[in-house]
Structure 1
Amino acid sequence: MPSLLTILSVSLGSLLTIAIVAVLVYWYVQDITQKKHTILRNYPLVGHLRYFFERLGEYFRQYFFLGDRDEMPFDRATRSWVYRLAKNEGGVIGFGSTYRLQDPGALIFVNAPFPVLEEDRLPTPPLIIGEGHCATPFTARSIINVSGMSFGAISAPAIRSLSRGAAAAGCWMDTGEGGLSPHHLEGGCDVIMQIGTAKYGVRDANGHLSLDKLRELAAHENVRAFEIKLAQGAKPGKGGVLPGGKVTEEIARIRGIPVGVDSISPNRHLDIANIEELLDFIARVRDVTGKPVGIKTAVGGRMFMNDLCEATLRRGLDAAPDFMVIDGGEGGSGAAPQALADHVALSINESLPRVVDALLAAGMRDRVKVVASGKLITSARVAWALACGADFVNTARGFMFALGCIQALRCHTNTCPTGIATHNVRLQRGLVIEDKAERVANYASSINKEVDTIAHSCGLRHAREFSREHVRIVQMAGQSEALSTLYPYPA
């Protein structure tokens, strides 16, 4: 006689089988009757495998199929290098490099036959922004700095980690267009307050610029400068986008907007429609705050810089922006239309030398400090930017990797698995602020050190002595060309 346990096991197994068959029949009927997906209508049940593997495809490619130098937007070799710097493990490799020196665009630095001796090296000097043109100029110490990432686009623990790490490394932190939060000030780092097209953080009840709020922000000792955002490389001509699911009560209060509603900035400042209005706006903010005021923009051609220089020279050098942040078309963003991210604005490779040349030709180069931005996360790319004529480099994604970003490409979904670009408290738990702050500081300090190492190899005493003669760019035929030949200095 079968035992009671055996009978129950058979019954449960039968019920489970019936349940599974019922679910499959339900899915089958649903698939063949729906009208949205051709694959499912023609291949019910089996068609779901196609969508399953499509969703997982980018992750399989990232870890199993693509080579160390093949992935986009950042390959595995580059990410691993940043991780090692952030962990203070050094950027040392063995058995040779996987960097393809023959590929078009490859960077080659011109080493000196007699490098600078240790005792002859000099510390890379800081630069003063706004000296002689505002009441409180800003002394910037680090070549590499934290680019604009809004509180909202990234989480409070991420902002707090960046603030503490930036303070330890002596670099500045840009607030992004989401306004100044207490988390930006927590670590005591130098802060650049960005004024976006929606005027978040400095807007009145009607969304216009509030001079009282400007004064209030300028009173913070750590707020060193203000940056007027005209355009971002990833989405020029499109304002910032923060999905309603990420607009928490705290973020809404800081920005001055409703809770849970999509935060969509205008595609340009409503009160800045031409160069003259831009210079007026710069002067207004500088007069009210007493601090340096710059602009951030992407460049599509020569007209903007030519017009800006001509208008500034008519008014006098006091009217010039104290600094310019040039963002390449390859710049990143938590959310951007693919048409703009893929096809609008010049790459930093082309836009940076054009901007520097325009300032040189106008005699404004010493007056306006230049900050380069756009996939410049390695020491070689930072050194290239200095050779082109930049004074500083901003990076967002480099510091995101230092925080632990795994390039999951889910920044806009509020489901970031590393807790960086999400407000899900459970996911944020994995981001330990004390540890990540140390990694941020390590990354910034290591980049500055490695840039100096490249400079010394080129026979320079410090990194601010780089010029275009020190860099060669590999061309289509596999031969390199001097950067000074590709982009000669203006006469």
Structure 2
Amino acid sequence: MKTQNMVEMLETATPVLEALSTLFVFVMGLLVLFIVIIFIFDISQRKNAVLRNYPVVGHFRSIFSSLGEFFRQYFFAMDREEMPFNRAERDWVHRAANNTDTTVAFGSTKNLSPVGTVIFANCPFPTLDEDASETRPITIGEGFCRKPYKAKSIFNISGMSFGAISKPAVLAFSNGAAIAGCWYNTGEGGLSPYHLEGGADIVFQIGTAKYGVRDEQGHLSDEKLIEIAEHKQLKMFEIKMSQGAKPGKGGILPGAKVTPQIAQIRGIGVGEDSISPNRHVEISSAQDLLDMINHVREVTGKPTGFKSVIGATDWLDDLFQEINKRGEACAPDFMTLDSGDGGTGAAPMSLLDNVGLPIKETLPLLVDKLIQYNLKARIKVITSGKLITPSEVTWALCAGADFITSARGFMFSIGCIQALKCNKNTCPTGITTHNKRLQKGLDPKNKATKVANYVHNMNHAVEVIAHSCGVSEPRELNRNHVRIVQNNARSIPMSELYPSQHLGR
């Protein structure tokens, strides 16, 4: 009986096995045919020597080259050697965003010998927790505009436009910023409903194309400025002169990322490359810059400043001399200083790698210039540029910054894996793509909590360093609290490298 059942089962299964066998042979035949076609094409073409000399297998070179970006960070790179951000930095952000333990064991993996290494000067009698003070807020534009802004958080979200990043990412940042009590900069792509949905304080960036506040001819529109300023959440206006990713060139948004909604917000055609002018056509001098700042502030009633990367420095003297000539009321309410070592957006490598000075040089320089012209109390300094960990943020405070902003740090907080695909529409984490399938993995509600955690843990960690240096809160830090390693492997106080002392905020 059992034998008969087995025979019946085999008889039943035979057609299925035959069909699978036929399918296998068919698939293998197609595969062989495909390889033959590629072989013939490779040896016939004359554009690629590798493929002509090594048909078929030569394609693996491109595949491995593309995958190398991912394999390096997981298998080959040491904790501190990757660029632009290493594993240790990304891991700290990840743990902070997830509100998990940020402590490490068995000593530092950071090399403390290279020239330029920052070391904080702890004191023998650090501040006790019960003696610590809350980090005091700073009011921007007080006495000089109708609606000054009282900013509470040291650490805030830098400009990332809707278009460069996705709807879920904007929602995550907007909601997270509201929970954390920090501000969120729109970037140059205009104000979207998703920026406002979370209820966060918003800084509106006016890029060189003036998206969101332009008329039909592309000029700055007072009517649209007033309309934007009517939103209570909108706290400040930032005129973008240049950015770290591409100093001297305007924003670049590939046409693949220009959806109908983004095109409507920016006032451009669907699917067209969004290429901003390399500067504001109205601004060709320090006088012109002050004129535009004062015009925007007068029309909107809100604090207005500008963002720039510093390369040449003579223009700062011209600017500050002109301010002192006109009077403090004409000064920008803030200056946002970006670093010349790149940002999130698409950029020519020639600019990203080689143009603009890094923040470690320009921040002390700018603060010293402000002190020289007695403008430090009037003009608040905001800085960005790879400042994503507590040591970097604390260094910026010691150097004289009032606020620190970050874009890439916050991208890490919501799941960025440094896939280096920000300029494409293929971001695997859904942050910089408008592909709905790829966006599914990015839950704005969950990521908003991570954004808030990142801000809270950053501010707390900066306070820990400040207390170790013996001050009651981070805004009391100055250049005497940080040392810089020199050629002889010895460190000296930052105040000796840059003698102008920070005179208060």
TM over 0.5: yes
Identify the residue that residue 49 of structure 1 maps to in structure 2.
60
Change in 2 beyond 3 A, CA 1:218/1:13: closer
1:173 aligns with 2:184: yes
Q: 1:121 to 1:41 in 2, by over 3 A?
A: same
Secondary structure (helix, strand or coil) at the match of 1:413 reads coil
Say which SS state the counterpart of residue 364 (structure 1) adopts.
coil
8 A Cα contact 2:159 2:205, kept in partner: yes
How does 1:265-414 map onto structure 2 within 5 Å? Answer: 265-414=276-425
For 1:335 and 1:442, locate their aligned partners in 2 and report how far apart those are by CA, in whole Å.
28
1:131-159: per-residue Cα shift (whole Å, max 9, x none)?
Answer: 00000100000000000000000011111
Change (3 A) 1:470 1:7: closer
Residue of structure 1 in register with 2:450 after alignment: 439
2:137 to 111, 126, 133: 126
Partner residue in 1 for 2:146: 135
Aligned mates of 1:8, 1:221 — CA distance in 2: 68
Unaligned 5+ residue runs, structure 1? Answer: none
Q: Tell me the SS of whatever aligns to 1:412.
A: coil
Residue of 60, 79, 97 corresponding to 1:68: 79
Aligned-partner Cα distance in 2 for 1:390–1:8? 72
Provide, for residues 56-81 of structure 1, a one-character-per-residue CA deviation record: whole Å limited to 9, x for no partner: 11111111001011111100111011
Question: Shift in Å at residue 272 of structure 1?
Answer: 0.8
Among 143, 163, 166, the alignment partner of 1:155 is: 166
Give CA-to-partner distance per residue, 1:75-114, whole Å, 9 cap, x none.
0111011000001113211121211112222211000110
Deviation digits for residues 43-67 of structure 1 (CA, Å, limit 9, x no counterpart): 1112112112111111111110010
Change (3 A) 1:140 1:9: closer
Given candidates 181, 193, 206, the residue that maps to 1:182 is 193
Alignment-mate amino acid for residue 231 of structure 2: H
Q: Contact 2:188/2:206 (CA < 8 Å) preserved in 1?
A: yes
Give 3-state SS (helix, strand or coil) of 2:423's partner. Answer: helix
Q: Distance in 2 between matches of 1:90 and 1:366?
A: 38
- Provide the residue aligned with 1:21 in structure 2: 32
Please state whether the residue corresponding to 1:192 is helix, strand or coil: strand
RMSD value, Cα: 1.6
- Equivalent pair of 2:397/2:474 in contact (CA under 8 Å): yes
Q: Could you tell me which of 417, 430, 433 is aligned with 1:419?
A: 430
1:476 matches 2:487 = yes
Aligned to 2:111: 100
Give how far 1:187 is off: 1.1
Q: 2 CA distance for matches of 1:198 and 1:159? A: 21
1:447, distance to aligned residue in structure 2 (A): 0.7
1:262 corresponding residue in structure 2: 273
CA positional deviation for 1:443: 0.3
* Structure having the higher Rg: 2
Corresponding residue for 1:114?
125
Structure 2 CA distance for partners of 1:64 and 1:221, relative to 1, 3 Å:
same
Report the 3-state secondary structure (helix = DSSP H, G, I; strand = E; otherwise coil) of the residue aligned with 2:191.
coil
Q: Distance in 2 between matches of 1:137 and 1:207?
A: 28
- Tell me, yes or no, if structure 1 residue 91 matches structure 2 residue 111: no
- Assess if the C-alpha contact under 8 Å between 2:342 and 2:353 holds in 1: no
Give the SS at the match of 1:134: coil
- Residue number among 69, 74, 98 corresponding to 1:58 in the alignment: 69
Rounded to whole Å, the distance in 2 between the matches of 1:343 and 1:52 is 28
The one-letter code sitting in structure 1 at the alignment partner of 2:183 is W
Shift of 1:475: 2.4
Provide the secondary structure at the position in 1 that maps to 2:242: coil
Long gaps (5+) in structure 2:
1-10
In structure 2, relative to structure 1, the CA distance for the partners of 1:40 and 1:352 (3 Å cut) is: same
Distance across 2 between alignment mates of 1:166 and 1:233 = 23
Q: Percent identity, aligned pairs only?
A: 55
* Matching of residue 197 in structure 1 with residue 227 in structure 2: no
Aligned-pair CA distance for 1:245: 1.0
Residue 223 of structure 2 is aligned to residue 212 of structure 1: yes
Shift of 1:426: 1.0
Does the 8 Å contact 2:344/2:408 carry over to 1? no
SS in 1 for 2:238: strand
Report the CA distance shift for 1:25/1:137 in structure 2 as closer, same or farther (over 3 A): same
1:246 and 2:257 aligned: yes
Within the alignment, does 1:449 sit opposite 2:465 as a pair? no
Shift of 1:17: 4.3
Where does residue 37 of structure 1 map in the other structure? 48
On the 8 A contact 2:478/2:501 being kept in 1, the answer is no
Q: Aligned partners of 1:150, 1:418: CA distance in 2, in Å? A: 17
- Closer, same or farther: CA 161–10 of 1 in aligned 2, 3 Å: closer
The offset of 1:435, in angstroms, is 0.8
One-letter amino acid of the structure 2 residue matched with residue 61 of structure 1? R
Change (3 A) 1:102 1:7: same
Contact 1:370 1:392 in 2 (8 A): yes
CA contact 1:331–1:373 (8 Å) conserved in 2: no
CA–CA distance in structure 2, aligned partners of residues 91 and 13 of structure 1: 52
The TM-score, its normalising length taken from structure 1, stands at 0.97
Contact 2:495-2:501 at 8 Å conserved across structures: no
- Asked whether the 8 Å contact 1:380–1:451 carries over to 2, the reply is yes
Structure-2 change in CA distance of 1:154 and 1:9 (3 Å):
closer
Instruction: Name the count of aligned residue pairs.
Output: 490
Confirm or deny: 8 A CA contact 1:241 1:265 kept in the other structure.
Answer: yes
- Give the letter for the 1:200 counterpart: Y
Report the CA distance shift for 1:376/1:400 in structure 2 as closer, same or farther (over 3 A): same
Q: Could you tell me which amino acid in structure 2 is paired with residue 79 of structure 1?
A: R
**Could you tell me whether the CA contact under 8 Å between 1:173 and 1:191 is conserved in 2?**
yes
State the Cα distance separating 1:315 from its structure 2 match: 0.6
